[in-house]
Structure 1
Amino acid sequence: MQQSYTFNQIYFEYRLMVFNLALHYVLNTEDAEEITQDVFVKVYNTMDDFKYDSSIKTWIYRITVNTSLDFIKRKNSKKRFFIFGKKSTSEKEYLAVKNTEHPGVILEHKEKSALLFSVINQLPENQRTAFLLSKLEGLSNTEIALVMETSISAVESLQVRAKKTLREKLGEKFEEYRRKK
């Protein structure tokens, strides 16, 4: 038996998930908010067409990934960075981040995060999606396969290639970073 959801139920249950995933792609709060808005406009406009072939969560992940990738292509701007940290669990948490670290430590974290995300953003689209959904969103390979509409073995292959590329490129980038200091 399929459960019917109202738009408000869907929005309040999945808004932070959508925002966090979009943020992993665009690394900018304002752009992530715009993507989140676009995702829920699409959800609202296509709710009646949802066939329950997959879970609502998987369907929303798929819309979010596609909307994020489309946004990046459309924007075609220089990559920005976001302080790499734990995922938000509440709106207040991501709106009012409190940090008591020394400014020098914070700056170094920002620099390393910018470096990390600059390399992640160089990955091919499918590798980047598989990596972000796995490592930053914590989805299983089965869930990723559903979101990406591919096989589990393809997801595993994409993750292996992404990790290999990241290891190589991060090694090079951190060497350059160390030399600059």
Structure 2
Amino acid sequence: MASEDILVEQLKQGDGAAFKHIVDTYQNMVYNTCLSIVKSQEDAEDLAQDVFVQVYQSIHSFKGESKLSTWLYRIATTKSLDHERKKKRKKRFGFVKSIFGEDAQVEVNPPDFHHPGVILDKKENAAILFRAIYQLPENQRIAFILSKIEGQSYQEISEIMQTTIPAVESLLHRAKNNLKKILES
């Protein structure tokens, strides 16, 4: 932890090498988190860059009360969710195609993409899984992605989502039950 504190302090002093080290260390994690939420490689790359710009600009607000990686996950998650909300508000469906099914429910069909955190034998299975994940309510979806795709602990998820561990456990339990219902239908 001492080396992380030193790195953060160096970044606060404007040390370019410290910033490069942070980018090199966390760029894959940040990109994968963004990709899990926005489903577009191009958008995920842009958002990952935005995350590091925000880190550089707001490092002085980092108090060290959580790990640096937790702070980065929080920024990446927030930026990705904001991006998705803006897309929905502006009704830009460049990467998400919504079709009304027979029961008037909106069915989201994510594009065919490769996510480095998901290894499945068949792309069809990945598409089915992601289609089901994106039907979950937002908090359940984020908790599920952070847990099952990003491999975060309940403690880390609670810090990223700024909630309690029991709330994370509840979100994950509901997400699993909802996914089971979605995948069975």
TM-score (norm 1): 0.78
Equivalent residue number for residue 7 of structure 1:
19
Residues 1:56 and 2:68 are matched in the alignment: yes
Aligned pairs for 1:35-74 within 5 A: 35-74=47-86
| Structure 2: runs of 5 or more not aligned | 9-17, 97-109
Q: Which runs of 5+ in 1 are unaligned?
A: 89-105, 173-181
- Identity over aligned residues, as a percent? 44
Matched, 1:147 2:160: yes
* 2:51–2:76 CA contact under 8 A, matched in 1: yes
* 2-structure distance, mates of 1:146, 1:158: 14
The alignment status of 1:156 with 2:169, answered yes or no, reads yes
Find 1:28's aligned residue among 2, 19, 40.
Answer: 40
Q: Is the 8 A contact 2:39 2:111 kept in 1?
A: yes
Q: Deviations over 1:18-68 (max 9, x none)?
A: 011111112221111011111111111101221111110100000011011
CA distance in 2, matches of 1:54, 1:48: 14
Runs (4+) of structure 1 exceeding 3 A deviation are: 83-88
Which one has a larger percent strand, Structure 1 or Structure 2? 2
**What's the Cα RMSD here?**
2.0
Structure 1 distance, partners of 2:67, 2:114, is: 31
Instruction: List per-residue Cα deviations over 1:143-171 (Å, max 9, x = no partner).
Output: 10011110000000000000000000011
Pairing 1:138–2:141 present: no
Give the one of 120, 125, 145 matched to 2:138: 125
**Alpha-carbon distance in structure 2 between the residues aligned to 1:38 and 1:81:** 24
Superposed CA offset, 1:100-154 (max 9, x none): xxxxxx8xx2232222111111111110111000000111100100111100000
Tell me how far apart the structure 2 counterparts of residues 162 and 128 of structure 1 sit (CA, whole Å). Answer: 7
The one-letter amino acid of 1:82's match is: F
Q: Distance in 2 between matches of 1:169 and 1:71?
A: 25
Question: After superposition, where does 1:159-170 map in structure 2 within 5 Å?
Answer: 159-170=172-183
The correspondence for 1:80, drawn from 111, 120, 134, is 111
Q: What is the DSSP-based 3-state SS (H/G/I as helix, E as strand, rest coil) of the residue aligned with 1:4? A: helix
**Across the two proteins, how many residue pairs are aligned to each other?**
154
C-alpha separation in 2, matches of 1:158 and 1:125: 10
Give the TM-score, by structure 2 length.
Answer: 0.77
**Which structure has the highest helix share of the two?**
1
